[in-house]
């Protein structure tokens, strides 16, 4: 029904925690979840079926809200830990928008400013999975954002594309704001002033999980001076942001594209070769981490598709990432 749409299997931990917390007897659901490793992905249809298995064993209004409230960093994979490496809510939301596909590869999300508000919205281009799936997704998103900050963060508005439920109160109580249904898109709107709020559990050291770039990039570049330091850190940041091109790197280095090109020529360097070298070094480090899937690594290296990463990796090393990883495990 929803071909090509996926959810990270790490979110199955959230379902297990919910089942245990509520003492639900659902052996068929637990057995179905055993088929997946933490780094695999499951089709959205299968995710929906698991949610509805729980609903049959534990019928209650607004079930998706209760399930989503159980979310923890370990349940959303690498994107959860990436958020903990940010300084502010705004940074975390931008990183979420960039890496959403690591958690939920369904309808793409977008962030836009609208007056005094910031709105995250998801369209229906790739289908509508239904109330239980949607409510679980938005509830875990809001719950995780709240987990990041000291004081409760209330949205200004939440909307769903699904028909309205019989009772709106559980939704307005949970989100703490007006909740509308039968909208054209799913949306969450926050006051723009909340974007500068600092995260209570921020931990920049967690960026080591993503890159450990200081050591890796000493190998990637031929020498060490202030230009190389700035170049490598700017390239890594642009790679993680999904825009590893010359203008973006030049902007981070506070110089024009032409000036950066001239500086590279003075050092007898070609930008694409430096970028390739950095990506290949980081790819080897990522592949050694059992918590990262091939899709995770592709997006962390700035590729829009896993297939593009696979082609690049074969060009670098002559083998596929999967064969390389098998070699590490021997």
Tens place of pLDDT for every residue, the chain, 330 residues?
A: 444 567 888 889 999 999 999 999 999 999 999 888 766 778 888 999 999 999 999 999 999 999 999 998 778 776 776 777 778 899 888 878 777 777 777 777 889 988 899 999 998 877 788 999 999 999 999 998 888 888 888 999 999 999 999 999 999 999 999 999 999 999 999 999 999 998 876 655 555 555 454 344 444 444 445 687 788 878 887 887 777 889 989 988 888 999 999 999 998 889 999 899 889 988 888 888 776 788 878 878 888 788 899 999 999 999 999 999 887 655
- A 10 A CB-CB count for 3 gives 9
Give the C-alpha separation, 250 to 25, whole Å.
57
Give the C-alpha separation, 70 to 188, whole Å.
19
What are 173's two structure tokens?
């109580």
Q: What are the angstrom distances between the C-alpha of 127 and each of 4, 122, 138, 235?
A: 11, 11, 16, 36
Phi-psi region of 4 (alpha: psi -120 to 50; beta: other; left: phi over 0): left
Q: Which domains does the chain have, with CATH numbers?
A: 6-196 (3.90.1520), 211-329 (1.10.10.60)
Instruction: Assign 228 to helix, strand or coil.
Output: helix
DSSP-H helix ranges across the chain? 12-21, 27-33, 44-57, 63-68, 78-84, 89-99, 131-148, 169-175, 207-210, 213-220, 226-241, 246-252, 257-266, 271-287, 294-300, 306-317, 321-329
pTM score:
0.69
């Amino acid at each position: 029904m929803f071909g090509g749409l996926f959810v990270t299997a790490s979110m199955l931990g959230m379902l297990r925690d919910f089942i245990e917390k509520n003492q639900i007897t659902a052996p068929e659901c637990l057995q179905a979840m055993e088929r997946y490793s933490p780094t695999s992905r499951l089709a959205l249809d299968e995710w929906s079926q698991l949610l509805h298995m729980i609903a049959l064993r534990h019928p209650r209004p607004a079930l998706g809200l209760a399930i989503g409230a159980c979310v923890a960093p370990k349940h959303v994979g690498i994107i959860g830990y990436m958020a903990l490496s940010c300084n502010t809510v705004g940074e975390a939301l931008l990183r979420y928008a960039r890496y959403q596909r690591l958690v939920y590869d369904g309808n793409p999300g977008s962030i836009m400013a609208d007056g005094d508000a910031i709105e995250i919205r998801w369209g229906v281009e790739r289908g509508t999975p239904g109330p239980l799936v949607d409510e679980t997704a938005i509830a875990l998103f809001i719950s995780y954002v709240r987990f990041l900050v000291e004081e409760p963060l209330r949205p200004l508005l939440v909307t769903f594309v699904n028909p309205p439920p019989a009772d709106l109160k559980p939704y307005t109580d949970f989100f703490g704001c007006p909740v509308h249904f039968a909208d054209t898109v799913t949306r969450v709107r926050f006051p723009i002033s909340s974007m500068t709020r600092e995260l209570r559990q921020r931990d920049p050291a967690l960026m080591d999980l993503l890159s450990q770039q200081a050591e890796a990039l000493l190998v990637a570049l031929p020498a060490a001076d202030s230009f190389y330091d700035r170049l490598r850190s700017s390239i890594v940041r642009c790679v993680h942001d999904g825009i590893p091109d010359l203008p973006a790197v030049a902007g981070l280095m506070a110089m024009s594209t032409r000036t950066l090109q001239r500086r590279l020529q003075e050092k007898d360097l070609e930008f694409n070769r430096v970028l390739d070298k950095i990506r290949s070094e980081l790819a080897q480090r990522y592949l050694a981490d059992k918590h990262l899937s091939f899709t995770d690594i592709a997006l962390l290296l700035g590729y829009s598709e896993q297939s593009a990463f696979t082609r690049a990796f074969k060009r670098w090393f002559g083998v596929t990432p999967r064969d390389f990883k098998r070699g590490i495990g021997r």
